[in-house]
Structure 1
Amino acid sequence: MTDGLATREVSAQPVGRLTVWQGAALYIGAVLGTGVIALPALAARAAGPASLLAWLALVLMSVPLAATFSALGARYPDGGGVSTYVRHAFGARAAAAVGWCFYFAVPAGAPAAGMFAGAYVTSALGGGQRTTTATAVALVIVVATANWFGVTVSGRLQLVLAVLLVTLLLTAVLAALPHAHVANLRPFAPHGWLAIGPAAALLVWSFAGWEAITHLAGDFRHPARDLPRATGIAVVVVGVLYLAVATAGVMVLGPAAGTTDAPLAELLALGIGGTVRVLAAAAAVLLTLGTMNAYFAGAARLGAALGRDGALPDWLARGSSVGEVPRRSLAVVTALSGLALVTTTAAGVGPSPLVLLTTGSFVTVYALGTAAALRLLPRGSLARRAAFLALVAVSALLVMTGWYLLWPLVLTVSALCYLRRRARADGRKAGKPGQGRVTPRQTGDVPGER
């Protein structure tokens, strides 16, 4: 389906209040996330210094992936994000499926991120599992409160967090740099070259997030202009920081890079000296706060859009328009996050299952989103070529995800069952059994398009 004149006009008009820098900060928070806290060590453990090739590969993959979602967000600035693009390309059922995959992945991923930060706080203050859980609860409350007052307040908070975060990470890397040794790169592939694949699979969590801000595209002042700029800034900042922290970890810590659970703390200890556990905990909390803030904002907006489009109950639709705050959807995300946190804490299983379930969902979202881009973006355009490269890369990620794709499959079946049940209920109300209400959004039409 091609764009209509109305779509281009909507994209060009000032419709929101987010600035380029606020949007870039939201992006940085969503993508940089909690991966930099522990995953450099996990990747080094899996592949040794060769894990740097996995980092480089995923940074390069981020360029076409981010460009694809940026191009889609600029053309279709709607709170539905990837769900909206999939609706235009493949219809209401596929849109509902991808919307459910994203919406219900956030309440699983947020508690996991909170527990990652909580482990650092526990290391600094003690208190065991109680401190870890209390930190996760506090983070959920903070980001829910920030988003309750609107995406503008959230964007300003994210800008402050991003500046503090970038400063802290650069300080850790630059301070530890005098202790780097080229000899620590040998042997480069102690576990063989094939170990780079498992290392890359571990790092998928670190690079999830390029789709999150598309749900806020309509909140930019000028989506068609500002969203690509914010994306470009974020790609450069995230790529540089990830590669810098990973490289410093390998070259400074040497074999110990794969044995420590807190590589950032180790870099700070070598570079600055003294007690750095509190600084490491502060970094962990800032990283996690930025990630959760961006995802709560995107998920809340998506839930309202899904309620508007009939893929979730109408009750959630309030707040789906630009400039409104989707508080009902935000309340659902917050409540489900709390439930997931209580369940995993009571079961004593830790954050690992939540991480794997979240990763499976986001890889599915990426696959459908990039496939939709190939149908929606103009033929021969640079954005469409980027979408093709992104789809190839995401296909490889699907293979590495394995059986954790069962969770998005369950969500897909649930979404389709909900649509069928709703269609029957609407048909009974209309006196025409089996025929449900179909809105312009569900058919993929945009007002004004023909």
Structure 2
Amino acid sequence: MTEGRELRRSLSWVQGAAMTAGAVLGGGILVLPALTAEEAGPASLLSWMLMSLLVLPIALTMGRLASAVPDSGGVVSFARRAFGDRAAYLLGWTMLGSIPIGVPVMALTGAHYVGSLFSLSHTGTTVLAGALILCALLLNARGIELAGWVQVVVIVIIALMLMIAAGGAAPLVERESFEPFLPHGWASVGLAAVTIFFCFCGWEMIVPLAEEFRNPSRDIPLSLMTAALLIIVLYLSIAAVTVGTGSYGGTGGLAPLSLLMEKAFGSAAGAVTGALALFITFSSVHTNIAGFSRMIYAQAREGELPGWLAKLHPAHRSPIAALYGCGAVFGGVLLYYGTAEPSLAWLVKWPSAIFIFSYIVVMAAALRLLPAKSGGRVWAGLSLVLCLAIYAFSGWAAGFPLVLAAAGALFAFLRRKPASMKSAAGAERSSAPGKSPR
């Protein structure tokens, strides 16, 4: 690593846990407890408990890998160490394909939730999403230490609001709400579990911050497991009171959490829910921008992307060029969304499939990188089977990561071909009769 391209080690495990929680605790908590209850009835609680247990091996494996390979390349660095530069390059292309869409989709999801509560226009919703992204970009540009402490404050506010809502609604839970417990059969429990899995994506976004932890071998696993336990408690609490109070079904998809909030906050429910949606959306966008920008920085540092993207801020040591690049791309996507008005549900499938694909590669890498006699390989194997099963349910979107990888391979081939042709032509001229090399 050359001088002037080193990130600053300033993150503690507390900040890391908040950043991780922000990446995972996305807009899903606003809608999925009610949507899964509609899909599987009270038995959806089994789906939540099952997925809460199954994601722990994923978080644990990510933590062990990040401790062994503390590099800003994140999952791309894992692939490089396990399978070589070519595999890392192709995975990098697939991850870069999620950046232009993933972050704007997160921002738009929260903005739409707020828009539905306060009757914002399509343009107003898009502008709100842009404002969330801009705030996160500016905060990240100021350095990871400030960004980390802001995230701690935001996550504490989110956790308090959700626990107050769950506690306020708990006295209204009725036994009749759990009967019949399995109205749609066991198959609905499995389908709900697949939907819930996407609530637990985002662990990979803390890994690119590894070079900025003060003590990565200790702090990263501690951050991941602390965040995992917090997220599980919040998800299960909200899911339980959503079912127990009957705050779902026939309410238009986005309203159920407002019903739950009304039980705890009364007439202020709309404003509280809107504020909660903004906090949750910002925390998710904030951490994902931090992780994505470090991945771009690391790939530029390795020569896989233009070198100017590896430029750091002279004072804050943040990847300022990568952040500017992300901002330009995000702005273009929001402009397209604001004018063309494509389906948000259609856009969501693209980054989701890429995240699952990256998990598959990471768990396969863990089987090669983690010590044979440790329990890490067992957890990685279990996680790999789970991720493959979820990926199989991705439908047409499962082909998107493969298309991006193929595009990366084609780009590399075309970039090498002119260079090899030029080299061959030079060799031919130097060996031609009557000509000697100069």
1:293 and 2:293 correspond? no
Shift of 1:121: 2.2
5+ residue gaps, structure 1: 1-13, 435-450
CA shift, 1:255, in A, is 5.3
- Who is 2:3 aligned against? none
Pairwise CA distance, 1:69? 0.7
> Structure 1 residue 48 and structure 2 residue 22: aligned?
no
C-alpha spacing 1:320/1:261, structure 2 compared with 1 (3 Å): same
Letter of the 2:374 counterpart: S
- Asked if the contact 1:67–1:231 (Cα under 8 Å) also holds between the matched residues in 2, the reply is yes
Partner of 1:115: 108
- Establish whether residue 200 from structure 1 lines up as the match of residue 190 from structure 2: no
Note closer, same or farther for the CA distance 1:122–1:364 as it changes in structure 2 (3 Å cut): same
Taking structure 1 as reference, are residues 433 and 158 closer, same or farther at Cα in structure 2, changes over 3 Å only? farther
How far residue 413 of structure 1 moved from its aligned partner, in angstroms, is 1.0
Q: 2:274 aligns with which of 271, 275, 281?
A: 281
Greater Rg over alpha carbons, structure? 2
State the match for 1:446 in structure 2: none
Match for 1:174 among 158, 167, 171?
A: 167
> Match for 2:322: what amino acid?
S
Q: 1:26 to 1:163 in 2, by over 3 A?
A: same
1:296 and 1:184 map into 2 onto residues whose CA distance is 40
Q: Does 1:361 align with 2:354?
A: yes
What TM-score, normalized to structure 1?
0.88
Q: Does 1:385 align with 2:342?
A: no
1:127 maps to a residue whose letter is L
Q: Which residue of 1 aligns with 2:238?
A: 245
Q: Which residue of 2 aligns with 1:235?
A: 228
Cross-structure match for 2:436 = none
Q: Percent identity?
A: 35
Q: Does 1:91 align with 2:109?
A: no
CA contact (8 A) 2:34 2:247 kept: no
User: For 1:177 and 1:344, how far apart are their aligned partners in 2?
Assistant: 40
Q: Give the counterpart letter for 2:122 in structure 1.
A: Q
Separation (CA, whole Å) in 2 of partners of 1:433 and 1:356: 46
Higher mean displacement: 418-427 or 31-40: 418-427
Q: Is 2:206–2:291's contact at 8 Å kept on the other side of the alignment?
A: yes
TM-score w.r.t. length of structure 2: 0.90
> Cα distance 1:64–1:214, how it changes in 2: closer, same or farther (>3 A)?
same
Contact kept? 2:15, 2:148, Cα under 8 Å: yes
> Could you give the per-residue CA deviations for residues 93-146 of structure 1, whole angstroms, max 9, x where no partner exists?
211222222233132122222122212322343332232112101111111111
Distance 1:90 1:101 in 2: 16
Cα pair 1:21 1:159 within 8 Å, conserved:
yes
> Given the alignment, which residue of 130, 134, 137 partners 1:137?
130
Does 2:30 correspond to 1:37? yes
Q: Partner residue of 2:99?
A: 106
TM-aligned CA distance change 1:332 to 1:15, over 3 Å = closer
- 2:309 and 2:419 mapped to 1: Cα distance? 17
Offset, 1:320: 11
CA distance in 1, matches of 2:410, 2:325: 20
Q: Which amino acid aligns with 2:196?
A: L
**Counterpart of 2:246 in 1: which secondary structure?**
helix
CA distance in 2, matches of 1:114, 1:241: 21
CA contact 1:20–1:229 (8 Å) conserved in 2:
yes
Q: What whole-Å deviation, never above 9, does each CA across 1:336-355 have from its counterpart, x for those lacking one?
A: 22222222332323321221
2:18 pairs with one of 16, 25, 39 = 25
1:81 partner letter: G
In structure 2, the CA distance between the partners of 1:421 and 1:234, relative to structure 1 (3 Å rule), is same
Q: Alpha-carbon deviation of 1:257?
A: 8.0
Please give the secondary structure, in 1, of the residue aligned with 2:203.
coil
Specify the SS of the correspondent of 1:379.
Answer: coil
Asked if residue 422 in structure 1 is aligned to residue 415 in structure 2, the reply is yes
Q: Mark the CA change 1:129 to 1:103 in structure 2 (over 3 Å): closer, same or farther.
A: same
* CA–CA separation in structure 1 for the residues paired with 2:250 and 2:99: 30
- Taking the TM superposition and a 5 Å limit, the aligned residue runs for 1:367-446 are 367-424=360-417, 427=420, 431=423
Deviation at 1:289, TM superposition (A): 0.4
Please state if 1:63 is matched with 2:61: no
1:191 paired residue number: 184
Indicate conservation of the 8 Å contact 2:35/2:248, yes or no: no
Letter in 2 for 1:387: A
Find the counterpart in structure 2 of residue 336 from structure 1. 329
- Amino acid aligned to 2:298: A
Q: SS in structure 2 opposite 1:67? A: helix
**1:117 and 1:135 in contact (8 A); partners too:** no
Moved more, 102-111 or 166-175: 102-111
In structure 2, the residue matched to 1:440 is none
Cα distance change, pair 426–60 in 1 and its aligned pair in 2 (3 A)? farther
Q: What is the CA RMSD across the aligned residues, in angstroms?
A: 2.3
CA drift of 1:419 comes to 2.5
Cα gap change, 1:384/1:15 in structure 2, threshold over 3 Å: closer, same or farther?
farther
Shift in Å, 1:420: 2.4
Contact preservation (8 Å) 2:247, 2:257: no
Whole-Å separation in 2 of the counterparts to 1:25 and 1:184:
34
Q: Does the aligned pair in 2 maintain the 1:81–1:302 contact within 8 Å?
A: yes
Q: Distance in 2 between matches of 1:58 and 1:432?
A: 56
Distance 2:18 2:95 in 1: 21
Report deviation, 1:384.
Answer: 1.9
Instruction: Kindly state the Cα deviation for residue 427 of structure 1 after the two structures are TM-superposed.
Output: 4.8
Per-residue CA shift, 1:162-220, capped at 9, x if unaligned? Answer: 11111111111001111111221111222221112322222232111011100001110
Q: How many residues align?
A: 420
When structure 1 is superposed on structure 2, of 115-124 and 384-393 the one drifting more is 115-124
Match of 2:305 in 1: 312
Task: Tell me the distance in 1 between the aligned counterparts of 2:143 and 2:97.
Answer: 21
